[in-house]
Structure 1
Amino acid sequence: MTSFVFLKTLLRPASTFGLLCCVALASVLALPAKANEEPNDRGYRWFEIEVLVFRYLQDGGDDDEQFPLTVQPIPTEGSRDILTPRLRADVRGFIYALPQCEGTRGYVPVVRQLLLKPADLRTELNNYSAENISCRRLPHLPLVDAWYLGQNEIHDRLPARAPLLFAGHAEGSREEMLRAEIPFLISQEDFEYHALRRQLERRADTQPILHTSWRQPVFTRNVGRKMRLFGGRNFTDEFDYFGFPISPTPKQQALSFREEARSVRGIDEDAFSRMQVALAAIDRGQFAFTPWTAERSQQPSRPARTPRGLPSEVWELDGLLHVYLVGNFLHIDLDFNLRDVIQLEPEARHYDEQVDDFLNADAHQLEFLRAYPFKQLRRVISHQTHYFDHPKYGMVITIRRTDLSARR
């Protein structure tokens, strides 16, 4: 009888107030589960982008004449770079959190310069080894770089050549996109151009430079940020951004030494013999002096003012890729430079240089890092392979829709 009364009580229609309380409680309990299911859903339209860049190895011939010799700069300030962190991890926070190494005198850098001798700094460096990596050295001093290198070399140096493949560890799932704050590289297993890259590697006339794929939200042209891509050889230690050698080549050093010797002696010992050969060639019609003009010179020019926002590294391939939406249509905007070392033969300004050029054709050759610009804008369709051609290199790009690509 008691059980019957209990069941009857449970089956009795609940009051309106009780029902409202139950519904409210169920809604509150369901909120955390919904938040975990859709974290940070900001309504972004995420796409997956895969890029394969390769260069042609055959000589372009007359195609070089259509490109300006002066480097056209591409400022990268404000762009998004997801490749550099794969090469240079910023571990300064971890270093600064380590305890100071034993035997390291923690003076202010200015005081260290006054009080510490190079032998003291050399001792500090010798005490730092792989077994002692759990402690922190002090920043290096410019005056004693030869003996004491600080831990900045861990994150300041980039490799002499960028890897061909740039990949991450993410699978590009819906949950990863919802949690991501910035674009991210996806796993190499999700790349679709592996077979095409291997074909280009087997060919004798092509060389792949960069193969990468990432996921990013795509916005309108004025809202989204451009992606900086680079690859190939790192010329930072050899040339500046505008292609001029940082340090003179051995040939240029020899020429400079000879010019200095001339200024000391007044005239070198074989000047008369050289002049006799030149005069004989003039009589035979094989050589003639010509006035120098800036228009005829092959010497490239530097800009009067260096533009802001130029990258600090000089890569074989460097530039910007911008994917944006106009309405519901995808667009790809490319702005890249491909670098190549060439030999320039600028026109001799002085008569003695013209004689040198006649007697030694390689006397005034200049090594220069030329840039071949590539700019192109195209409206594209997702899940199609788009090829961007250039006399020096080619780009294969595809944009694939994701679970969050629909207009939201």
Structure 2
Amino acid sequence: MKQFVLKAILLSTLGTSAMPAFAVRWFEVELIAFSQKAGTDIREDFSIETDPIPQEKRLDLLTNGFKNVGHQACLAGDSKYDPRSVMDQFTMQQSSWYCDDDVNYVEKYEKLPVIPFSEPLEHMQSMYLLAPEQLRFESIRKKLERQGKNPILHTGWRFPDQSKKRAPNVVVYGGMKFEQPVSYKYIENEPSDSFVSLLSTAPKQAIKTQGEDLWELDGTIKIHIRHYLYVTSNFDYRYLTEEGELESARMSQFTRVYSGDIHYLDHPKMGIIFQIRKYKH
């Protein structure tokens, strides 16, 4: 009897260690980010400078989704996504063009698509973007539009059960593109061996620099699990003041949520509606 019990324990241990990777629980999250209507009763001061959003452990699922939208538009013949140079477009107006998968179509956007595109996937191997037909919040997005709110991004992704330490900060961005102000940096001119240059300080040369483009919405969402689902979000919402100056409002929240419930993150300038759902369990 004792040998039977030991054998049963051994078989149970071996069976547990041999469980496939997909035995880890998987979830999917869907969200809609939108800008709030400008209100005259907002008294918050958003001009206070904030620390940059943390850059560690970032996972960008959206960029390829935005590129896919541009690639599809190029294949459909949309002239906005014509990859040819301006000269080629002028001299070869009637000729067709080749839509390369490697073209960075995001650079061509003045405003990003609300819904990034991905082929529908069903695996549980790595995190991936939801396809448009896998989203369920279309009626909510249309209701927001009827209320005069402006949807910036409608997307989602699938992810495994991960601890706070292992879970990545998923990059979330969208909306209008704002160019960073032009700045200048000064460098020393190359030294000269002439006697005059040794007696005087060589003048510095100003070089014009341009930073990366800024998007209306830019931030990260991190979802980890410890008995419950926890969502850590950090967003910058950028907008132009009446004077034409670019300002940014920060929204940072840490929230415990339940799968299946629809949650709302509120801010005077923007809002996010999201839902985390169980996937195949």
Matches within 5 A, 1:106-185: 154=104, 157-172=107-122, 176-177=123-124, 180=125, 182-185=126-129
Residue 34 of structure 2 is matched in structure 1 by 54
Structure 1 residue 73 and structure 2 residue 52: aligned?
yes
Deviation at 1:192, TM superposition (A): 1.6
CA-to-aligned-CA distance 1:241-268 (integer Å, 9 cap, x gap): xxxx338xxxxxxxxxxxxxxxxxxxxx
Matched, 1:45 2:25: yes
Of 229, 236, 255, 1:330 maps to: 229
The residue number in structure 2 matching 1:232 is 175
| Maintained 8 Å contact 2:66/2:117 | no
State the SS of the aligned residue for 2:65: helix
Number of the residue aligned with 2:245: 368
CA deviation after TM superposition for structure 1 residue 83, in Å: 0.6
The Cα shift of 1:130 comes to 5.7
CA–CA separation in structure 2 for the residues paired with 1:397 and 1:195: 13
Equivalent residue for 1:87, pick from 53, 56, 66 = 66
Q: 1:133 to 1:385 in 2, by over 3 A?
A: closer
What letter matches 1:213 in structure 2? Answer: G
Match of 2:81 in 1: none
1:157 is paired with a residue whose SS is: helix
Q: CA deviation at 1:133?
A: 5.5
Distance 1:75 1:392 in 2: 21
Q: Which has the higher helix share?
A: 1
CA distance in structure 2 between the aligned counterparts of 1:374 and 1:165, rounded to whole angstroms? 22
Aligned-partner Cα distance in 1 for 2:235–2:98: 41
Equivalent position amino acid for 2:228 in 1: F
- In 2: Cα distance, 1:223 partner to 1:61 partner: 42
Q: 1:45 to 1:63 in 2, by over 3 A?
A: farther
Contact 1:46 1:218 (C-alpha < 8 Å) held by counterparts: yes
Of 213, 223, 231, the match for 2:166: 223
In the alignment, which residue of structure 2 is the partner of 1:401? Answer: 278
Q: Unpaired runs of 5+ in structure 2? A: 1-17, 69-86, 184-210
Correspondence 1:210 to 2:109: no
Secondary structure of 1:166 counterpart: coil
Partner amino acid for 1:53? Answer: A
State the AA in 1 paired with 2:176.
R
Secondary structure (helix, strand or coil) at the match of 2:58 reads coil
Cα distance change on mapping 1:232 and 1:154 into 2, 3 Å: closer
Question: Residues 370 and 60 from structure 1, CA distance in 2 versus in 1: closer, same or farther, beyond 3 angstroms?
Answer: farther
Deviation at 1:77, TM superposition (A): 4.7
Higher fraction of strand: 2
1:62–1:384 distance in 2 versus 1, CA, 3 Å? closer
CA gap of 1:221–1:60, structure 2 versus 1, over 3 A, is farther
Q: TM-score, normalised by structure 1?
A: 0.47
Q: Which residue of 1 aligns with 2:239?
A: 340
Deviation at 1:313, TM superposition (A): 3.4
> Quick one: which amino acid aligns to residue 221 of structure 2?
L
Task: Number of aligned residue pairs: give it.
Answer: 217
Asked if the contact 1:88–1:158 (Cα under 8 Å) also holds between the matched residues in 2, the reply is no
User: SS in structure 1 opposite 2:241?
Assistant: strand
Q: Within 5 Å, which residues of 2 pair with 1:243-392? A: 245-246=181-182, 312-326=212-226, 328-343=227-242, 367-392=244-269
1:358-405 CA-partner distances (Å, limit 9, x unpaired): xxxxxxxxx42111100111111100001111111111111000115x
Structure 1 residues 158 and 331: CA distance shift in structure 2, 3 A: farther
User: 1:111-168 deviations in whole A, cap 9, x for unaligned?
Assistant: xxxxxxxxxxx99xx89x967869x9xxxxxxxxxxxxxxx97567241111111242
CA distance in structure 2 between the aligned counterparts of 1:132 and 1:374, rounded to whole angstroms: 43
Distance (whole Å) between structure 1 residues aligned to residue 266 and residue 162 of structure 2:
26
Retained in 2: the 8 A contact 1:319–1:337? yes
SS at match of 1:87: helix
How much identity, in percent, do the aligned residues show? 27
SS at match of 2:151: strand
Structure 1 gaps of 5+ residues are 1-37, 90-121, 137-151, 248-310, 345-366
Tell me the secondary structure at the aligned position of residue 229 of structure 2: strand
TM-score under structure 2 length normalisation: 0.67
